[in-house]
Amino acid sequence: MTACVDRMIRPPKQTRRRCSVAPRRQERAFMFFEAHLQLLQAAADANRTRSAWTGYTSVTPPDSRQAEAFVGAYDGATLNLSAPTQSCVTADEVSPYTGKALNVTYSAPSAEEALEGAAQAAAALRDAGVEQRVGVCLEALHRIHHRGQEFAAITSHTTGQSLNMACSGSGTNALDRGLEAVAMAWAAMNRVPGQVTWRQTFGKSDVTLRKRFRPRPLGTALVVACASFPAWNAYPAILANLATGNPVLVKPHPRSVLATAVAVSIIRDVLAEAGLPSDAVQLVVDTVDEPIAARLATDPATRIVDFTGSQAFGTWLERNVENALVFTETAGVNTVILDSVRDLSATMRTLAGGLSLFSGQMCTTPQNIYIPDAGVLTDDGPVSRDDVVAALCAAIDDLAGAPRRAAAVCGALQSEATRQALEALADRADADGTLVRRPAAYAHPEYPQARAVTPLLVRVDPRRGDQLPAGEQFGPVAFVIDCADRDSAVEHATDSVRRHGAISSYLYCTDDAAVDAIADAYADAGASLSANLVSSMPMQYAAAYSDYHVTGLNPAGNATLTDESFVAGRFRMVQDRRQVEG
Amino acid sequence: MTACVDRMIRPPKQTRRRCSVAPRRQERAFMFFEAHLQLLQAAADANRTRSAWTGYTSVTPPDSRQAEAFVGAYDGATLNLSAPTQSCVTADEVSPYTGKALNVTYSAPSAEEALEGAAQAAAALRDAGVEQRVGVCLEALHRIHHRGQEFAAITSHTTGQSLNMACSGSGTNALDRGLEAVAMAWAAMNRVPGQVTWRQTFGKSDVTLRKRFRPRPLGTALVVACASFPAWNAYPAILANLATGNPVLVKPHPRSVLATAVAVSIIRDVLAEAGLPSDAVQLVVDTVDEPIAARLATDPATRIVDFTGSQAFGTWLERNVENALVFTETAGVNTVILDSVRDLSATMRTLAGGLSLFSGQMCTTPQNIYIPDAGVLTDDGPVSRDDVVAALCAAIDDLAGAPRRAAAVCGALQSEATRQALEALADRADADGTLVRRPAAYAHPEYPQARAVTPLLVRVDPRRGDQLPAGEQFGPVAFVIDCADRDSAVEHATDSVRRHGAISSYLYCTDDAAVDAIADAYADAGASLSANLVSSMPMQYAAAYSDYHVTGLNPAGNATLTDESFVAGRFRMVQDRRQVEG
């Protein structure tokens, strides 16, 4: 980290304003709330009905030239998104497509500076009240959506997501998850009446009390985002904290900062326009060599921690953070049981898409695929395991062989380390005879130098003593597991859920009663189950307002997007009561 | 602990049944739910409106002879209220009134036995579903209420509560707090639909998913109750756990077991009648010399801990339990600011009652009383601090001098240690010239040997260097604190809240705008405030369904009776979704 006082350059978009005559700031905050109230109510309704709904129109992906221009606008910029500090850091952000460094510098407050800044902002944020704070959240989401193409471009060139996925998964879907959490927090706070007149008889006399109930924040919150999918988990945590009045420190992954930084910058602008301290949300940037998350998480001033990332650090946080609520979403081993299907080709296309989507870098990517000895039953009779595996390979090859589609589906690997680990795994599988498909590069139509890759397939038989990794193997790798029958697949898979966790689990089975029983077995292991997904919907698609993400009942994390436990502890009620004439 | 296999005596009330022709067990469970559904709905409504309501008719206190008979029925009994074990313990329970040992023996499972018993019961409890489990909770509350006099007798002769208080505070009020928690948990689970058909268009095709959402328990729960007020906090925790499907280990204080044991015995009976394993609730009895709570709380199998007791152990649990949700209600320093009053005599009577109620052994008892240099303003002008202190002493003396009333209000000290600490404190105050009133015994009309005592008053001036205890001083002791003015009182008192915590805070001030400002100051310190309570309602009365007990925002504990955060994390949602024809 270096001193950065004389490098205060901000790209023009960071400071733009929309009105020439500004209303008074407090009024502005209520205007935000009122402007988006209908959306908020619809989101709260959707949370209750859990039916299909979205709050945001889809974003048309920019073309690659436009995307580079969006990212290039930040070349050489310095973003100051925290309380004042003398330190800054030029993050090690390199596009997985172009291989070029983004060259963006961020103010990098120390833990003390960031915590002090949060403490300074706390009272004003708390006193702003629910509607003002919720208004800020909704307006920020609105502006992020408005700049959807820019966000998609930055997301793509930091995470490796394709521009399509960056517009949906990290775009509107992430905004929906953010809105879902805001609506959940708003509904929870609204379920308590603001005041009540209470009357009761004691002995012979009536007592009348006038009571007020006010939600109050818990304290400073830390949100730690991951490198490959920073928005989807961070928006709900940041906004649930803000809505409930807790100042937030946002700590992105040191190699994937910019998209989060721009989101934080927007929220800070909206806070300022609402007459609230910008430092109610701060960006805290660290480096791989000098990480700051553990220091911040264990500070007594930190009262809430949201973490997305490795199971090792997530578990460490759950065990070592003494003074804060800890919400984690980490990783697990997602299983697929192939028992019986209506349409094998369509199933294999869906599964190939699921393995390829964002090069397997999603926490919902399938990893372990069970096929019984008898093969997979179809309407035309059983198909042998060898033939099923061959069909899966063919479906992956088909996808990989169509460069535009492959680019849209697979994107690129965020990190070189993932590619190296993948190659090493392929070599080991080759050596022990379990390799089915090498993780070959596909030909990216625009960026031949992209870290482009298609799935590695390994085939193992645990009965023969073949080993499986003890946890998530990050990136595009799947293990086809030979097993005796459906029951043994369920037993092995649910045991895996209990040991390693799972975020998504998949089943193909045409017997609805059997699906029920297997759903029970997964539920008993603390996992949700998706059955018979064969369509243009990606199998790992999780819909905000409807699908719960992470159960909190297995080692893949303790935080659910978004159940009531995700918001309930972030605020508490203070009450006053005074005796009045009856 | 001794082997107790050949001492299986149960008093007759433990096993009674009410129907001669028993319906099938599953049906029975639904009958429980349906029988009490109206009550449940009314409780859920009251939770929402927070207006005055009770689910239980008041219980007429037994007379002292009847009470002794209720307790005597257990003399020599052995209660087996856990999974099978070879160990038992005759608890060190001695009546604070008669000085006689209760002589009741309890099965005392080891941590391993109790945890294994809970694990064995888990699946059946989980699979019973919400309505069956809630039905069990409601029926258990109903039966406890039905045996209200017996509970009051036992509570009185173990805790020292008067029979009046044991009928209300540990009787109907505790039942109301239990029902409040059950209704809160039921409402939270009910807010998620059981199933939904979800339709969305992807590209050109419609996708229809049939989704189910099921609440699932977190795992084994531990509930640790305190010696002096075991029901009020334990019922909500036990029943919130049961309603959400978590098997419960109930660990009472080793010197105050029997009331909790009988409640557990009733719940176990109802579970069995509902076709559920009795071991879904077990009593775990330990001894002062070999405590078991820390061992149980830190076992990886324990996923929820509810604790009522000392701040030291509560904080230890919050910091050292890695694998479980921890809910604590401990203690704080409750403050009273005397600024201005309408009726000084009535205020002093109320405050004298508050200090005397259950001999100051409630977590809501006032401890630090601030009086400004200018005295207390009344309609007839200011009354000097000396005169206010004299009036408070006179009000206490009045109460103490009326034995029947004193007995009904004060009850007795649960523990000899409390009396000794009180005497030592009085001696020190006498030595340093701060003693205002000695904690003299009052003449109990029925039990001259009772551990009967009236409040100790000490007067200090921190400006003179007088010291205050750094936390709760358990028992009937109050410190009158000389302070410059109202503002300095508020500053000192809210600083005390931040350092030591507070469960209830009191203010007497006739300026409503000032009450607002002071309520804000307490709220900022994380405390609730009661203003101008002058009536036949005891000042520390906290009404279930309306008053939140413990904010969770100061060191007095993190668990609120009953906000949504008290129930939200005890269950999580598992989901399954399957693709169907649109």
Per-residue pLDDT tens for A279-306? 999 999 999 999 999 999 999 999 999 9
Would the pLDDT of B12 be above 90? no
User: What's the mean per-residue pLDDT of chain A?
Assistant: 94
**Partner A contacted by B326 (CB < 8 A):** no
**Partner B contacted by A413 (CB < 8 A):** no
Nearest to A578 among B319, B515, B535 (CB): B515
Mean per-residue pLDDT, B242-262 = 98
**Partner B contacted by A532 (CB < 8 A):** yes
Distance from CA of A403 to the nearest CA of B (A): 19
Q: Do A211 and B535 touch (CB under 8 A)?
A: no
Q: Which residue shows structure tokens 């099965």?
A: B107
Q: Do B573 and A579 touch (CB under 8 A)?
A: no
pLDDT band at B19 (very low <50, low <70, confident <90, very high): very low
Q: Same domain for B127 and B223?
A: yes
Q: Which of residues 88-147 of B touch A (CB under 8 A)?
A: 123, 126
Q: Same domain for B301 and B344?
A: no
Q: Do B578 and A537 touch (CB under 8 A)?
A: no
Distance from CA of B192 to the nearest CA of A (A): 6
How many residues are given for chain B?
A: 582
Closest to A161 in 3D by CA, of A94, A72, A97: A97
Q: Do B51 and A196 touch (CB under 8 A)?
A: yes
Helices (H), A197-303: 230-244, 258-273, 293-297
Mean per-residue pLDDT, B232-253 = 97
Looking at residue B23, its pLDDT comes to: 57
Please state, in angstroms and rounded to a whole number, the distance separating the CA atoms of residues B102 and B97.
Answer: 12
Q: Same domain for A357 and A284?
A: no
CB A472 within 8 A of CB A502: no
Please state, in angstroms and rounded to a whole number, the distance separating the CA atoms of residues A499 and B444.
Answer: 61
Mean per-residue pLDDT, B206-232 = 97
Tell me B277's DSSP state. -
Amino acid identity of residue B249, one-letter, is L
In a domain, A157, yes or no: yes
Q: Same domain for A294 and A262?
A: yes
Closest to B119 in 3D by CA, of B308, B246, B18, B286: B246
**Partner A contacted by B16 (CB < 8 A):** no
In a domain, B203, yes or no: no
**Structural element, H or E, at residue B249:** strand B248-251
Looking at residue A27, its pLDDT comes to: 74
Please state, in angstroms and rounded to a whole number, the distance separating the CA atoms of residues A50 and B119.
Answer: 33
Tell me A12's DSSP state. G
Q: Which residue shows structure tokens 């993948």?
A: A422
- CB-count burial class (<10 Å; 0-12, 13-18, 19+) for A79: buried
Compute how many other C-beta atoms are within 10 angstroms of the C-beta atom of residue B566. 27
Contacts of A531 in chain B (CB under 8 A): 576-579
**Partner A contacted by B173 (CB < 8 A):** no
CB A410 within 8 A of CB A454: yes
Q: Same domain for A82 and A151?
A: yes
Distance from CA of A529 to the nearest CA of B (A): 5
**Partner A contacted by B537 (CB < 8 A):** yes
Distance from CA of A409 to the nearest CA of B (A): 14
Q: Same domain for B175 and B72?
A: yes
Closest to A173 in 3D by CA, of A52, A268, A92: A52
The range of the structural domain enclosing residue B169 comes to 30-192+218-331+561-570
Please confirm whether the linkage preceding B562 is cis (ω < 30° from 0): yes
The complex's ipTM works out to 0.95
Please state, in angstroms and rounded to a whole number, the distance separating the CA atoms of residues B172 and A498.
Answer: 42
Q: Which residue shows structure tokens 């960071």?
A: A14
Q: Which of residues 35-94 of B touch A (CB under 8 A)?
A: 48-52
User: What's the mean per-residue pLDDT of chain B?
Assistant: 94
Amino acid identity of residue B227, one-letter, is A
Q: Same domain for A246 and A278?
A: yes
Q: Same domain for B367 and B240?
A: no
Contacts of A519 in chain B (CB under 8 A): 212, 576
Residue to substitute from A204, A209, A498, interface B, most B β-carbons within 10 A? A209
Closest to A130 in 3D by CA, of A266, A37, A42: A37
**Over the range B311-322, which residues count as b (16 or more CB within 10 Å of their CB) and which as e?**
bebbbbbbeebe
pLDDT band at A582 (very low <50, low <70, confident <90, very high): confident
**Partner A contacted by B183 (CB < 8 A):** no
Read off φ and ψ for residue B306, nearest 5 degrees: -115, 125
Distance from CA of B100 to the nearest CA of A (A): 33
Work out the percent of chain A whose per-residue pLDDT is above 70. 96
Q: Do B573 and A551 touch (CB under 8 A)?
A: yes
pTM for this structure? 0.95
pLDDT band at B24 (very low <50, low <70, confident <90, very high): low
Looking at residue A62, its pLDDT comes to: 98
pLDDT band at B25 (very low <50, low <70, confident <90, very high): low
Distance from CA of B570 to the nearest CA of A (A): 9
**Partner B contacted by A318 (CB < 8 A):** yes
Q: Same domain for B230 and B297?
A: yes
Looking at residue A23, its pLDDT comes to: 57
Closest to B242 in 3D by CA, of B136, B143, B114, B144: B136
Please state, in angstroms and rounded to a whole number, the distance separating the CA atoms of residues B292 and B457.
Answer: 37
**Partner A contacted by B189 (CB < 8 A):** no
Would the pLDDT of B579 be above 60? yes
For residue range B401-448, list pLDDT tens digits in order: 999 999 999 999 999 999 999 999 999 999 999 999 999 999 999 999
Amino acid identity of residue B378, one-letter, is T
Q: Do A198 and B52 touch (CB under 8 A)?
A: yes
Looking at residue B5, its pLDDT comes to: 40
Contacts of B204 in chain A (CB under 8 A): 536
**Partner B contacted by A513 (CB < 8 A):** no
pLDDT band at B323 (very low <50, low <70, confident <90, very high): confident
Q: Same domain for B392 and B269?
A: no
Q: Please give the structure tokens belonging to residue B118.
A: 């809970």
Nearest to B50 among A48, A213, A323 (CB): A213
In a domain, A154, yes or no: yes
Mean per-residue pLDDT, B283-307 = 97
For residue range B166-206, list pLDDT tens digits in order: 999 999 999 999 999 999 999 999 999 999 999 999 988 99
Contacts of B319 in chain A (CB under 8 A): 322-323
DSSP string spanning B434-477? -EEE--PPP--SS-TTS-----EEEEE-GGGT----SS---SSE
Q: Do A198 and B532 touch (CB under 8 A)?
A: no
Helix B130-146 / helix B111-128 crossing angle, nearest 10 deg: 120
pLDDT band at A9 (very low <50, low <70, confident <90, very high): very low
Residue to substitute from A576, A580, A581, interface B, most B β-carbons within 10 A? A576
Q: Same domain for A368 and A292?
A: no
Nearest to A318 among B52, B322, B553 (CB): B322
How many domains is chain A built from? Answer: 2
Contacts of A211 in chain B (CB under 8 A): 50, 546-547
**Partner B contacted by A446 (CB < 8 A):** no
Contacts of A501 in chain B (CB under 8 A): none
Q: Please give the structure tokens belonging to residue B273.
A: 């009648």
Would the pLDDT of A8 be above 50? no
In a domain, B303, yes or no: yes
Nearest to A553 among B199, B216, B530 (CB): B216
Looking at residue A407, its pLDDT comes to: 97
Mean per-residue pLDDT, A471-491 = 97
In a domain, A272, yes or no: yes
State chain B's maximal CA–CA distance in angstroms: 89
CATH number assigned to the domain comprising residue B425: 3.40.309.10
Lowest mean pLDDT among A10-19, B129-138, B259-268, B366-375: A10-19
Would the pLDDT of B28 be above 80? no
**Partner B contacted by A498 (CB < 8 A):** no
Please state, in angstroms and rounded to a whole number, the distance separating the CA atoms of residues B43 and B48.
Answer: 9
Angle at B185 between CA B181 and CA B186, to 5 degrees: 115
CB B75 within 8 A of CB B174: no
CB-based contacts of A550, cutoff 8 Å, min separation 6:
A329, A503, A556, A557, A558, A559, A560, A561
**Which residues are B457's β-sheet partners?**
B437, B478
Would the pLDDT of B13 be above 50? no
In a domain, A50, yes or no: yes
Q: Same domain for A312 and A349?
A: no
Mean per-residue pLDDT, B82-87 = 96
B553 SS3 class: coil
CATH number assigned to the domain comprising residue B91: 3.40.605.10
In a domain, A24, yes or no: no
For residue range A546-577, list pLDDT tens digits in order: 999 999 999 999 999 999 999 999 999 999 99
For residue range A349-403, list pLDDT tens digits in order: 999 999 999 999 999 999 999 999 999 999 999 999 999 999 999 999 999 999 9
Q: Do B578 and A534 touch (CB under 8 A)?
A: no
Contacts of B579 in chain A (CB under 8 A): 531-535
Contacts of A579 in chain B (CB under 8 A): 531-535
**Partner A contacted by B205 (CB < 8 A):** yes
Contacts of B524 in chain A (CB under 8 A): 123, 126
Work out the percent of chain A whose per-residue pLDDT is above 90. 93
Please state, in angstroms and rounded to a whole number, the distance separating the CA atoms of residues A388 and B104.
Answer: 68
Please state, in angstroms and rounded to a whole number, the distance separating the CA atoms of residues B233 and B522.
Answer: 24
Closest to B63 in 3D by CA, of B512, B516, B447: B447
In a domain, B579, yes or no: no
Residue to substitute from B579, B580, B581, interface A, most A β-carbons within 10 A? B579
